[in-house]
Amino acid sequence: MSTAEETAGGEPQPWGEVSPDAARRLLVAAVEAFAERGYHATTTRDIAGRAGMSPAALYIHYKTKEELLHRISRIGHEKALDVLRTAADSEGTPAERLAEAVRSFVRWHAGQHTVARVVQYELDALGPDARAEIVALRRQNDAAVRQIIQDGVAAGDFDVPDVKGTTVAVLSLCIDVARWFNVNGPRTPDEVGALYADLVLRMVRATK
């Protein structure tokens, strides 16, 4: 992993492979601005300014402001899905896999909460085609979590009367971390991840 992909905290930045350099700076600036003020309240002049460039420079690398949001959404979702799948597909009991999935997914949403906020709350600003692409990625999150819960039920390790509903609730719980998590708050992403993994195991009444 290159240094460009890692922060001081060790959490991988999702933009490592974006090039050229100016395009990456614009993308990072757009994430910050969108997360702070929302897509519609952010101006192209603001994004370009944060990246240290003139407003016109943005249009050399991206066709529209919406293309920036689309790229952020896709890369962000892909990275989060990658984190979730790695944990879901690992070895171990369903309880271990579920705990690890929640722990790492929550850690991502807390550590990368600026990206996650954009990705989760600005979906409606995308056009129909782009939105459909992102929604498809989300369904894969759902499928990954549901699979673990089903495995646990089948093995007799979980007691879950409503698998679909519980899946929705687990994902909802993890995703909403991006909304309330505060870097200056009392908890680190690791701590929130550990707390939430425990809470989710309680929700499925894991017995081992």
CB atoms within 10 A of CB 110: 26
* CA–CA separation, 60 and 50 (whole Å): 16
Binding mask 32-71 for its own copies (x = CB under 8 A): ----xxx-xx------------------------------
**For 7, left (φ over 0), alpha (ψ -120 to 50), or beta?**
beta
* CA–CA separation, 71 and 56 (whole Å): 19
* CA–CA separation, 167 and 200 (whole Å): 10
Stretch touching DNA by CB under 7 A, among 37-45, 108-116, 143-151, 154-162:
37-45
Residue 163 near which of DNA, its own copies, none (CB within 5-8 Å, type-dependent): none
Q: For tokens 């998590």, name the residue.
A: 181
Among 6, 37, 45, 155, binds DNA (CB under 7 A): 45
Measured from the CB atom, the residue of 52 and 127 that comes closer to its own copies is 127
Among 2, 3, 19, 172, binds its own copies (CB under 8 A): 172
Measured from the CB atom, the residue of 20 and 161 that comes closer to its own copies is 161
Measured from the CB atom, the residue of 15 and 105 that comes closer to its own copies is 105
Could you say which residues in the range 182-201 bind its own copies, by CB under 8 A? 187, 192, 195-196, 198-199
Among 135, 180, 183, 208, binds its own copies (CB under 8 A): 180
The answer to whether 17 contacts DNA (rule: CB under 7 A) is no
